[in-house]
Amino acid sequence: MSTFRDLKVYQKAFKLAMDIFNMTKSFPEEEKYGLTIQIRKSSRSVCSSIGEAYRKRKYPAHFVSKTTDADMENSETQVWLDFSLSCKYINKEIYQEYKERSEEIGKMLNHMIENPDKYE
């Protein structure tokens, strides 16, 4: 691995963040400073935290801390997906697909948290 961009978890998180960005383009204008900005911010923060964690991989405690931040942001994204569904801004199929993708990212992050030595 030469950069954080080579990590599968980063690639999957980036793709999900971009899909969420495109999905939220159809959200009502009244959500511009609410749900729209929140879900975009949390999904993007997963990626930025992965990038930061990768740069801290020589220091296992810092690596785990930043990876935990990514996991936290991933969980926040799931909360905003729940609201998006409940507000009827997305259908159940999109919700299920994005939720499953986010859960997969969470499992990958958890592996990184539990095995920091594999990322040195």
Q: Which domains does the chain have, with CATH numbers?
A: 4-119 (1.20.1440.60)
d(CA 99, CA 106): 10
Q: 3-state DSSP call for residue 63?
A: helix
Task: Specify whether the CB–CB gap between 61 and 33 falls below 8 A.
Answer: no
Residue 120, pLDDT score: 78
Q: Is the pLDDT of residue 1 over 90?
A: no
Burial of 32 (0-12, 13-18, 19+ CB in 10 A): exposed
Q: Is the pLDDT of residue 98 over 70?
A: yes
d(CA 40, CA 19): 10
Per residue in 21-77, pLDDT (tens digit) is: 999 999 999 999 999 999 999 999 999 999 999 999 999 999 999 999 999 999 999
DSSP character at residue 119: G
**Token duo for residue 67:** 């990876």
Q: Is the pLDDT of residue 2 over 90?
A: no
Per residue in 74-92, pLDDT (tens digit) is: 999 999 999 999 999 999 9
Residue 65, pLDDT score: 97
Residue 82, pLDDT score: 98
The overall pTM is greater than 0.75: yes
Cα dihedral sign for 65, 67, 68, 69?
positive
Q: Which of 11, 17, 5 is nearest to 74 (CA)?
A: 17
